[in-house]
């Protein structure tokens, strides 16, 4: 097994089992993806990437960066948010399972090996098109393009169409995109990018697929859940996705009940904004039960 995944050149992205492990220099092996996500005990893709259930993804649609931040901070994950994006096709929250890719400034000797591997694997087109082939429905492609803008455009409208056709989801790129007018016509395809530029991608090389990457201040793993909101993007480790969803749902319910109490004049703003009394918690839980929710606030 190659443990030196950072000495990267890409290999086939589609069928891991047909390539000897020692050839997998640009890709974690299945065993490594499992090893480096030890706290995930749920379903996985055939290549070992964690597979958070669609039902959990649906519950994460209403999560804000603040709500996710609280859960991640409490769990010791302090480097999972990155802001400062330009957003194309803003609308509903971007939520999906992460597929990672990392590019580096081109070095001819290394890139020659990358291209030779791609030719042997019958890869078609330029390297930025190779990463699209492995996408599954619900995936979000997350690309570290080292902040390059001019000649750092990972896609135009053609590859944008291909990404959306494969994943029915969006793109996050620490780099740039081009053909924005065409991308805006792809309804539902949301893009978080550092910049916009008419140039084509040049002088880069694809150095890894589905390996750990850095997006600004965030460390991102394949199988994380990317959640975009107006503040930026949060990368939630898969084992925390359901807790983030549950805590967010509770926050919304607390707000709903609190607002109702304020409108009815049953409690003052000071009571609602401070630590609730046992009587308030019991009333809130009774309201949850009547509402049909299985969530409950602990009674001290």
2-6, 117-121, 134-138: least confident range: 2-6
| Residue 32, pLDDT score | 92
Please name which of 198, 138, 144 lies closest in space to residue 172, comparing C-alpha atoms: 144
Query: Can you give the chain as a three-state secondary structure string?
Result: CCCCCCCCCCCCCCCHHHCCHHHCCCECCHHHHHHCCCCCCCCECCCCCECCCHHHHHHHHHCCHHHHHHHHHHCCCCCCEECCCEEECCCCCEEEEEEEEEEEECCHHHHHHHHHHHHHCCCCCCHHHHCCCCCCCCEEEEEECCCCCCCCECCCHHHHHHHHHHHCCCEEEEEEECCHHHHHCCCCCCEEEEEECCCCCCCEEEEEECCCEEECCEEECCCCEEEEECCEEEEECHHHHHHHHHHHHHHHHHHHHHHHHHHHCCCCHHHHHCCCCHHHHHHHHHHHHHHCCCCCCCCC
pLDDT at residue 24 tops 70 = no
Model confidence, pTM = 0.84
Please report the domains of the chain, with CATH numbers, ordered by start residue. 52-237 (3.50.30.40), 242-291 (no CATH)
What mean pLDDT do residues 17-26 have? 38
| Residue 22, pLDDT score | 34
Joined together, the tokens standing for residue 69 give 């931040």
Joined together, the tokens standing for residue 292 give 């049909």
Band of pLDDT at residue 5, cut at 50, 70 and 90: very low
pLDDT at residue 7 tops 80 = no
pLDDT in tens, 205-235: 999 999 999 999 999 999 999 999 999 999 9
111-120, 131-140, 149-158, 196-205: least confident range: 111-120
CA distance 177 to 154: 6
| Residue 9, pLDDT score | 38
| Residue 27, pLDDT score | 66
6-15, 153-162, 255-264: least confident range: 6-15
Please name which of 113, 132, 112, 124 lies closest in space to residue 173, comparing C-alpha atoms: 132
| Residue 15, pLDDT score | 34
| Residue 249, pLDDT score | 86
pLDDT at residue 8 tops 60 = no
Band of pLDDT at residue 26, cut at 50, 70 and 90: low
Band of pLDDT at residue 269, cut at 50, 70 and 90: very high
pLDDT in tens, 64-109: 999 999 999 999 999 999 999 999 999 888 999 999 999 999 999 9
CA distances from 139 to 93, 216, 255 (A): 14, 20, 31
């Amino acid at each position: 097994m190659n443990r030196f995944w950072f000495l990267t050149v890409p290999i086939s992205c589609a069928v891991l089992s047909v390539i000897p492990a020692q050839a997998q220099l640009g890709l974690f092996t299945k065993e490594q993806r499992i090893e480096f996500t030890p706290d995930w005990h749920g379903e996985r893709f055939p290549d070992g990437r964690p597979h958070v259930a669609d039902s959990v993804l649906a519950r994460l649609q209403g999560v804000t960066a603040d709500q996710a931040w609280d859960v991640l901070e409490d769990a010791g994950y302090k480097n999972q948010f990155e802001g400062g994006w330009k957003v194309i096709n803003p609308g509903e929250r971007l939520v999906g399972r992460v597929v990672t890719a990392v590019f580096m400034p081109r070095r001819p000797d290394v890139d020659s090996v990358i291209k030779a591997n791609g030719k042997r694997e019958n890869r078609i087109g330029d390297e930025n098109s190779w990463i699209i082939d492995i996408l599954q429905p619900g995936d979000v492609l997350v690309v570290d393009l080292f902040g390059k803008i001019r000649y750092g455009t990972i896609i135009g409208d053609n590859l944008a169409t291909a990404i959306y056709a494969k994943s029915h989801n969006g793109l996050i790129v620490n780099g740039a995109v081009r053909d924005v007018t065409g991308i805006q016509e792809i309804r539902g395809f949301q893009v978080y990018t550092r910049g916009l530029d008419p140039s084509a991608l040049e002088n880069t090389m694809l150095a890894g697929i589905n390996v750990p990457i850095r997006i600004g201040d965030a460390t991102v793993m394949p199988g994380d859940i990317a959640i975009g909101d107006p503040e930026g993007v949060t990368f939630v480790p898969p084992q925390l996705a359901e807790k983030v969803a549950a805590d967010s749902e509770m926050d919304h319910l607390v707000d709903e009940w609190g607002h109702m109490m304020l409108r009815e004049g049953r409690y003052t703003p000071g009571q609602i904004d401070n630590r609730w009394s046992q009587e308030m918690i019991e009333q809130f839980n009774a309201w949850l039960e009547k509402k049909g929710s299985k969530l409950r606030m602990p009674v001290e």
